[in-house]
Amino acid sequence: MRALLQRVSEASVRVDGAIVGESGPGLLILVCAMAGDTDVDAGKLAAKISKLRIFTDGADKMNRSVRDIEGSALVVSQFTLAADTSRGNRPGFSSAAPPAEGERLYLYFADALAALGVPVQMGRFGADMKVSLLNDGPVTLWMDTND
């Protein structure tokens, strides 16, 4: 699975003008299930993110996790993280998991993150979403369970 994490002061996602998910201080996590990904990959990614020390401590060092700061996560499906831009000018997305499997793994990932003590809100899989965020730092990290 792939994820793009952004440390945020706040984030929200709207569908048809209505907020469907929001977060205060914590993480905006854009996530994409890749072809061949499993529940193990989703669980491994959730565990790593829950412990990732990217929030500052009293000495202004990145030494605290989202759980340590009692932060939350807004998890948004983002199949375009599977983009292959190696040929031509239009990205290909054939390495993304098929939609039904992608949605199942997206939900599994969000549930696994919540089970690890991170309050989770979500976007809506497959919807045209408008995501707003106030990036903190900015701190933005790329993760891939295949790396």
Among the listed residues 32, 5, 29, the one whose alpha carbon sits nearest the alpha carbon of residue 146: 32
Helix (H, G, I), strand (E, B) or coil at 19: strand
Q: Give me the residue label for tokens 């759980």.
A: 67
Alpha-carbon gap, residue 133 to 139, rounded angstroms: 12
DSSP E strands: which ranges in the chain?
2-15, 18-23, 26-32, 55-56, 62-64, 72-77, 120-122, 129-144
Tokens of 133: 């965020």
The residues that are catalytic are: 78-80
Long-range contacts of the stretch 56-62 (C-beta < 8 A, 24+)? 62/139
Residues contacting residue 59 through CB under 8 Å, at least 6 positions apart: none
